[in-house]
Structure 1
Amino acid sequence: MPLKMNAVELMAYLDEVFPQVIDDFAVDRLAEMEVDLRLKVAERHLRPGGTVSGPSMFALADCSAYAIVLAMIGRQALAVTTSCGLDFMRKPEAGRDLIGKCRLLKLGRVLAVAEILIYSEGGDQPVARANMTYSIPPR
């Protein structure tokens, strides 16, 4: 299934339907069934101990899955998260952006399943791994 939106169209649509977070994210790479989404880490994303907060990493995973689902199915803002699992594996570096490398494992008529590996920018080992399932609204 080909992409329904390119990176510029995707970011414009996210700005339209989800303006609360648009300043936090940027698409680094978009391909069929895959997106690399950047969390532009700022002071508000940090927690004590010099690391990025868990809620910020969850937001990156969730927005990565949402972005690739929208890029694949088109302008359907009401696609929603139905389940998530998140494993924290290493301490992300506070001074670096985080990159969510998201891959759709299944894109069905009703459900989409994604896996997201989260890296500190420039790091070669993931700091977290997430799995997300999205419900796709009927047309």
Structure 2
Amino acid sequence: MEIAMDEARLAAFMEEEFPQVAGDFVIESVGEELIVRLKVGELHLRPGGTVSGPTMFALADVSVWLAILSRIGPVALAVTTGASIDFMRKPAAGRDLIARARLLKLGRVLAVGDVLIFSEGEAAPVARSSMTYSIPPKG
């Protein structure tokens, strides 16, 4: 399936539709997999100085949402209907998180994506997530 929205269009759409968190994420590339950077700041840390689970969940969720939009175009109301996340290791302190999202299925009404999350510069993932989205009917 061809790309409907590139990095710039996705970033502009995110600013327009989801400005509350748009500044936290940088869309680095769109292709077979979509790569998103979370700019980790103090707000994202839990006691002990590591990135919180809810922050990693948000990165996974936003990454799959953007991967879907990159294929179907600007559909703000595509929503998460199922999610799971496995936290595999502690993220490296002081480093951004990088999500690598790919779509496993993109149907008319459902999309399923998989995400690996890495600490910047590390080879082993810190988390893995599976997300299912409902795509609203056209029209």
Q: Which runs of 4+ in 1 moved over 4 A?
A: none
Superposed counterparts of 1:94-109, under 5 Å: 94-109=93-108
- Partners of 1:94 and 1:60 in 2: how far apart? 17
> Structure 1 or 2: larger strand share?
1
Q: Which residue of 1 aligns with 2:68?
A: 69
TM-score for both structures, normalised by structure 2: 0.97
- Partners of 1:94 and 1:9 in 2: how far apart? 31
Shift of 1:94: 2.5
Shift of 1:29: 1.3
Shift of 1:45: 0.2
Percent identity over paired residues: 61
What stretches of structure 2 of length at least 5 have no aligned partner? Answer: none
Superposed counterparts of 1:1-139, under 5 Å: 1-32=1-32, 34-139=33-138
Shift of 1:23: 0.5
How many residues are paired up?
A: 138
Which amino acid in 1 is paired with 2:132? T
- Partners of 1:94 and 1:36 in 2: how far apart? 20
TM-score for both structures, normalised by structure 1: 0.97
For the aligned residue pairs, the C-alpha RMSD in angstroms reads: 0.7
- Partners of 1:66 and 1:16 in 2: how far apart? 15
Shift of 1:132: 0.2
CA contact (8 A) 1:46 1:94 kept: no
